């Protein structure tokens, strides 16, 4: 669960593994600071979120030539089932969202958290969480439509090339 969250936030498997490990290390180190008045999961994801932010800051310092191309790592839709194809489309569209929206939609839809839990993790007011989730859904829909349109153009171009050959 934490790894999935870190993977979606960092969009890089190695960074996600490092962030997950750092998260659990921090949890163990700071266990005495845990307030059992709150859900453990909320506290855990707060630490994971902050760790991912740290990873993002470190990544900014790296040169662009060292960054991996996430899209190149995605499997081809022709090689996977329809369900995986759809998941890949959503993941690709999610990766295009600004981090403030990607984080909220990941916590809500993929991690199954409630508005108040997301509010506690991010430190945002409840209304802001709800507003960002609304906007994130709209941006995700637009990104999916753009991906579909691009794929349609590619298929049409391939068909024209084959027909002309």
CB 48 within 8 A of CB 2: yes
Domains 1-63 and 80-165 share a fold: no
CB 72 within 8 A of CB 140: no
Q: Which CATH number fits domain 1-63: 3.90.1690, 1.10.10, 3.40.50, 1.10.1740?
A: 1.10.1740
Q: Does the pTM of the predicted model rise above 0.85? A: no
- The CATH class of 80-165 is mainly alpha
Count of Cβ atoms closer than 10 Å to residue 80 Cβ:
14
46-61: buried (b, 16+ CB within 10 Å) or exposed (e) per residue?
bbbbebbeebeeeeee
Q: What is the pLDDT of residues 64-85, one digit of tens each?
A: 445 445 445 554 445 556 677 7
Could you tell me the two tokens for 158?
A: 């391939």
Domain coordinates in residue numbering, the chain? 1-63, 80-165
Q: What is the pLDDT along the chain (165 residues), one digit of tens a residue?
A: 888 888 888 888 888 888 999 999 888 888 888 888 888 888 888 899 988 888 888 777 664 445 445 445 554 445 556 677 777 788 888 888 998 899 999 899 888 888 989 999 899 999 999 999 999 999 999 998 988 888 888 878 878 777 765
Placement of tokens 């403030």 in the chain: 100
Q: Concatenate the DSSP letters of all residues of 98-158 into one string.
A: -HHHHHHHIIIIIS---HHHHHHHH---HHHHHHHHHHHHHHHHHHHHHHHHHHHHHHHHH
């Amino acid at each position: 669960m934490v790894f999935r969250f870190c993977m979606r936030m960092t969009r890089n498997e190695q960074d996600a593994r490092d962030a997950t490990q750092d998260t659990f290390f921090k949890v163990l180190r700071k266990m005495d600071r845990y307030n059992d008045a709150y859900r453990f999961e909320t506290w855990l994801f707060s630490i994971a979120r902050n760790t991912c932010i740290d990873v993002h800051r470190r990544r900014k310092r790296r040169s662009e030539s060292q960054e991996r191309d996430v899209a190149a790592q995605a499997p081809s839709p022709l090689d996977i089932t329809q369900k995986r194809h759809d998941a890949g489309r959503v993941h690709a569209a999610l990766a295009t969202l600004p981090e403030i929206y990607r984080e909220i939609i990941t916590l809500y839809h993929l991690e199954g958290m409630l508005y108040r839990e997301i509010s506690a993790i991010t430190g945002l007011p409840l209304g802001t969480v709800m507003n960002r989730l609304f906007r994130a859904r709209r941006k995700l829909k637009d990104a999916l439509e753009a991906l579909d349109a691009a794929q349609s153009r590619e298929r049409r171009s391939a068909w024209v090339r084959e027909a002309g050959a």
